[in-house]
Chains A and B, each alone.
Chain A
Amino acid sequence: MGLLYGLIAVGLALIFGLMDVVNFAHGEFLMIAMYATFFLFAFFALDPLLAAPLVAAALFIFGAVVYLLIVRFAVRAKANTGMVQIFSTFGLAVLMRGVAQYFFTPDYRSIPHSYLGGKTISIAGIYLPQPQLVGALIAIAAFAGLYFFIHRTDFGRALEATREDAGAVALVGIDKNKVFALGWGLGAALVGLAGAVMAIFFYVFPDVGASFATIAYVTVALGGFGSVFGAFAGGIVVGLVEAMTTLILPPSLKTVGIYGVYLLIVFIRPRGLFGSI
């Protein structure tokens, strides 16, 4: 489960952490991805695993469009950039929920039969549900890919440079908007992957994002902003803490454990585990 939190968080880590833009509509991106997966399944009987690349591609476009239509202006705001980001993306979240409710109705949906759904592997009495296992593998692959991407490609370097100093970058002939739009697209595509995996074992409805969003923020911050590896580690920590708190505390208090560990870590290390900013 920890790796799944990691998978949800990785897209956020890119947007939130690397580009330093707050996205309060992250949970809603996830919701859209889950709906997309669901409808691909319902109309074309496409298994979520096969649908994943398609969903990721669709979310890539969606993310880029959101950046160009909304976030671009929020980042450019002369005053209160932080607040404008928080609230314009919050507005977007509300808007997306409304639109989802309008078109998809508020009914709960879920994919009843998929290739992986409900299958488990049992190793020495420990049950590993296959969807989660595949999700974990995808998460590791996504993190590795993103890590490579950021640190080894021109685009990754351009992204980081743009965040640090947009003015200087412009002098070298890099268009900030283009770089960030691609970054947003990529972040959203990763959320798309997460959504496709989630749809296998979770239900979908317009407000589904809310359950995951806070955990995703905590995961990213726990690992530290600006660090892909941090988000990965954060996901694992969150998963472990969740499993362990239920051993000592009643399950209804398990979020307290996760949040408590976050506070503990940032009080000791104000930049998270591996944060650079």
Chain B
Amino acid sequence: MTITRRNVLLGATAAAALGPIAARAQTSEVKIGVIYPFSGASAQIGVDAQRAFETAAEIINGKYDYDLPLARTEGLPGLGGAKIKLVFADHQADPQKGRAETERLITQEKVAAVIGSYQSAVAVTASQICERYQIPYLSADNSSPSLHRRGLKYYFRAAPHDEMFSQAMFDFFDAMKKKGTKIETLALFHEDTIFGTDSSNAQLKLAQERGYKIVADIKYRANSPSLSAEVQQLKAANADVLMPSSYTTDGILLVKTMAELGYKPNAIVAQDAGFSEKALYDAVGDKLEGVISRGSFSLDLAAKRPMVGKINDMFKAKSGKDFNDYSSRQFMGLIVMADAINRAKSTDGEKIRDALAATDMPGDQTIMPWKRVKFDENGQNNDADPVLLQYVGGKFVTIFPTQAAVAEASWPMK
């Protein structure tokens, strides 16, 4: 066998071409910025989010036999097995700081993408900065519908927004009415920041369209020292359904005040937030038997998809909590983003953006009850079906929509 000069050359070129890739596979990593509140009133959310993202990174970077994108391989095969590295930043719920920290993540830490942010107000500024630097921003858990309507090219949201959530609630009311349950009047109770305002606007609109009467629409100041006057008004209105949109702090106070003032509504259908937090149920769970909350996650999915239970165990080992509506969306946020980076085979912002836009992930490859992950032209995933969960005997069971339900709703609540 003769080794021609050409062969040698070819081999050399191949080695030269492969060299960097092989070298990169050993050392390289892809940085993803994660921006959450780590201090201040909602610091606990940030701390839990950190655990959720770490769990997702562990699954991506390690080898796990789950039917989840990137679980079975180590790192990102599209980038020669590069590992995901998370860079956390604290925005203290301040839009200005969120903006500055996002810019720092992009320019100093050289992150390939940014995920955030719990507070919708921060998502506004963070995603604008990302747009300017042409780096994709993915809302893991922001639910304000105004976010994806700003015409941003680099903004994505895999999870449902408040209008989709509220729609599910009203679909549920319609279904209950058909079965003969009396649901005519609603009482809205919402806090005065962006979350409560958006949520109540959506609910008001839907109630009008579908012929429900709003007998009380109470807006209160977030982190109020007392809610007794508000609860008196709710009690006087005595609607068929009470629909609170509250964060954890106000949620606890609301439930306690209701018990003190002897107000027991027929049913509570909550817009998540505080009503999916473990802290709230630790505090006042005994008074909430039968409360219904919207959500995008339910642990009873584990019966159908065993990996949900196993991943939940991983998260629980880190945080001492089960996945809830927030932590599950955060987890999926990183999976969706990593999947796109893997397909983009690059850390270039525009390529990742295009890969995100082309995402089509079947629902059963997620840990959510979603149909699929596929973004529309605004970057919103319209196939993320929300579910309604009822708190029964210390845990949540899915009661709506029917195809995901594992139990019948018990109405009125106990």
Contact = CB atoms under 8 A, between A and B. Distances in A.
A202 interface: yes
A183 B249 CA distance: 33
Contacts, number: 100
Contacts of A80: none
A147 interface: no
B278 to A, nearest CB: 9
Contact of B43 (A106, A201, A215): A106
B261 interface: yes
7 contacts: A108-B280, A118-B260, A203-B249, A203-B253, A211-B224, A242-B226, A255-B221
A129 B47 CA distance: 35
Given A101-B43, A211-B223, A251-B229, A203 B283 contact: yes
A106 B48 CA distance: 10
Interface in A102-148: 105-110, 112, 117-118, 120, 122, 127, 129, 131-132
Contacts of B261: 120, 127, 129
B260 A129 contact: yes
Contact of A246 (B225, B230, B259, B283): B230
B181 interface: no
Contacts of B218: 250-251
Given A109-B279, A201-B256, A251-B219, A212 B47 contact: no
Contact of A203 (B47, B229, B252): B252
B87 interface: no
Interface of A: 1, 98, 101, 105-110, 112, 117-118, 120, 122, 127, 129, 131-132, 201-203, 205-207, 210-212, 215, 242-243, 246, 250-252, 254-255
B284 A122 contact: no
Given A105-B44, A107-B279, A252-B192, A112 B286 contact: yes
Interface string B21-42: 0000000000000000001111
B82 to A, nearest CB: 33
Per DSSP, chain A at the interface is: mixed
A211 B42 CA distance: 14
Contacts of A122: 262
A22 B248 CA distance: 32
B259 A254 contact: no
3 closest cross-chain pairs (CB), A and B: A129-B260, A106-B43, A246-B229
A159 to B, nearest CB: 29
A118 B256 contact: yes
B248 A108 contact: yes
B44 A108 contact: yes
A255 B192 CA distance: 13
Contacts of B257: 201
Contacts of B283: 108-110, 112, 203
A105 B192 CA distance: 26
